[in-house]
Amino acid sequence: MFQDFNVLARPEQGPDRLTALRGAMAEQSLDGFLVPRADAHQGEYVAPRDDRLAWLTGFTGSAGFCVVLGDVAGVFVDGRYRVQVRDQVADCFTPVDWPEVKPGDWLIEHLGAGRVGFDPWLYTVGQIQELRHALEKHDIELVGCDNLIDQIWEDQPEPPMAPVHAHPIDFSGESHSDKRARLAAELHSAGHRAAVLTLPDSIAWLLNIRGRDIPRNPLAHGFATLHEDGRVDLFMASAKLDGLAEHLGPDITVRDPSAFLDQIATLGGPVRLDKSSAPVAVETALLGAQVEVVFDKDPCALPKARKNAAEVAGMVEAHLRDGAAVTSFLNWFDSNATSGITEIDAVTRLEEFRRASNALLDVSFETIAGSGPNGAIMHYRVTEETNRPLQAGDLLVLDSGGQYQDGTTDITRTLPVGKVGDDERAAFTRVLQGMIAMSRLRWPKGLAGSHIEAIGRWPLWMAGQDFDHGLGHGVGAYLCVHEGPQRLSRVSDVPLEPGMILSNEPGYYRPGAFGIRIENLIVVEEAPDIPGGDNHRDMLQFRTLTYAPIDRRLIKKDMLSADECAWIDAYHATCGRLLSGKVDEKVALWLDRATQPL
């Protein structure tokens, strides 16, 4: 359930591992080496074998990288992890605020001139192009090389080899033959002979398969080539695919992963490659064989994001099942919050309620249960060492989710331990106002997350407050809990479309004191015309998927408008109607009390 300490570097191990890496750099005549948190498939989560950043530095966040030079080693993290990184890394590592500080600028300042190595399997074409552009007027050379961490990591875990299973059409809503034909027609229309797929979630979606190579994500490591006639070459260990010959059918050829680079070198161009996800090693193999490369988006990305009716229906059912489990936990928490329970107790008990349905396949990510000052660490992961007993006056940020065959869930509730202060309640109410504003929003078709995400921040901004994570991320249907390309983010230019599922999760974090986050999942749908309105533009809206009570004791009603109060009361009435029959009698009585009108 918690971090694998065989991979994670403890602070006392950091200096020795850093010294060993610098020795390997010297043997390769390198002045620097880049260590990302990435694998060859560029997913957010990595298998233990690929968790090189945690092994070297001890930092366990889901995004970041280390740039190691002879006299300094910078660990680059964004705003979500700036408290966490300082708690986890040894003094021999220097935390760097990223993206405010760009790696190119940092290298120019700290190195000036020299050779910097990187593993071409672990960096995308786009990342290296951007870094080379930043360094082009300076005497710093980027050098593709073997992975130096792998050379010094003596007990590195083996690659994952979990079995793959078929994902039923009842939940996928479309056969993989129809998906392949649809996407192949788009390739043909664009004049592309093939597309190389390197993202495991794209392959899983396209072929209606799921795996267990990545903790908490139903993915299988592999690569694929989609041809313009709908055929697919699947580069995946055959041992994983035992029993799937009938599901895959004659148009999918399974090949050993070791043949991947040689096989794509035989393709006739143009070949589509997504520079935001394809490793440099893939581009190098294609160009080395003089295969014409066309950079374009992964053809699976948008179709995967636009959930069909069956996928949305499955997500609805998964969220009702999950909401009942969360509600049962909330009832338990109300009775035990002040009895000396710990963060781990909360994590363990919540997972037990989810498993009681006998439908949970896994949690969708490591549960975040941060109390008091730990709640201010946005992506805090409790360990035996950091486990904290809940204390009177604390807020507990509880961010969790489940993987079910019919859907993926992600929900955050902030809970009081006894009576909390007015300052905390005021901040909670502002966060809630932002979440309500996004839930109620209508907007013209064609807008992206960057156009509307400020609406969820506005109540906090008016009080001089903000938060350092996106307002929302995309979510897969029994796939990754963080799914692109759609986001509610100031940097997202992907227009929102019906069927896209996102999180709606404003927050507020006061370092050393407390954190607050409230999160529901929402799905984009067509908005009906407003009676009597002009209705001269097609509009979209969100429909809420997540149902579990929001703690009314933390709400300052006098800060809310009449419409906001009405939204909360309607939301809670729906929670009662949908969930009361899915929980036991005792929990149903608690639910009735917890969802009374404000």
pLDDT (tens digit per residue) in 204-252? 999 999 999 998 999 999 999 999 999 999 999 999 999 999 999 999 9
Q: Give backbone dihedrals phi and psi of 543, rounded to 5 degrees, phi first.
A: -115, 130
Q: What is the pLDDT of residue 7?
A: 59
| Other Cβ atoms within 10 Å of 173 Cβ, number | 18
Every domain range in the chain assigned CATH 3.40.350.10? 11-152, 165-298
Helix (H) or strand (E) holding 176: helix 176-190
289 CB burial (10 A radius; 0-12, 13-18, 19+): middle
pLDDT (tens digit per residue) in 565-589? 999 999 999 999 999 999 999 999 9
CA torsion, points 13, 14, 18, 19, in degrees to nearest 10? -50
Q: What is the pLDDT of residue 5?
A: 41
Q: What is the pLDDT of residue 310?
A: 98
Would you say residue 440 has pLDDT above 90?
yes
CATH number of the 165-298 domain: 3.40.350.10
| Other Cβ atoms within 10 Å of 407 Cβ, number | 30
Q: Which residue has the higher pLDDT, 86 or 111?
A: 111
Domain 11-152 has CATH 3.40.350.10: yes
Q: What is the pLDDT of residue 14?
A: 85
β-bridge mates for residue 519, sequence order: 412
Q: What is the pLDDT of residue 221?
A: 97
Q: What is the pLDDT of residue 276?
A: 94
Dmax (CA) of the chain: 75
Percent of the chain beyond pLDDT 70? 98
Q: Are strands 395-400 and 252-255 parallel, antiparallel or unpaired?
A: unpaired
> What are 142's two structure tokens?
């980027």
pLDDT (tens digit per residue) in 286-309? 999 999 999 999 999 999 999 999
DSSP-derived secondary structure for 478-513: SS-SSEEEEEESTT---B--TT-EEEE--EEEETTT
How far apart, in Å, are the Cα atoms of 312 and each of 79, 216, 511?
32, 21, 38
Say how far residue 439 (Cα) sits from the centre of its chain. 21
Q: What is the pLDDT of residue 534?
A: 82
Mean pLDDT of 535-557: 96
Cβ proximity of 325 and 358 under 8 Å: no
Choice among 43-52, 130-139, 172-181, 315-324 with the minimum mean pLDDT: 43-52
Q: What is the pLDDT of residue 4?
A: 44
**pTM for the whole thing?**
0.93
Helix (H) or strand (E) holding 94: strand 94-97
Domain 306-594 has CATH 3.30.479.30: no
CA torsion, points 202, 206, 211, 213, in degrees to nearest 10? -30
Angle of helix 309-336 relative to helix 562-579, nearest 10 degrees, comes to: 100
Mean pLDDT of 555-564: 98
Cβ proximity of 402 and 409 under 8 Å: yes
Determine the Cα–Cα distance for residues 77 and 95; give it in Å rounded to an integer. 7
pLDDT (tens digit per residue) in 359-406? 999 999 999 999 999 999 988 989 898 999 999 999 999 999 999 999
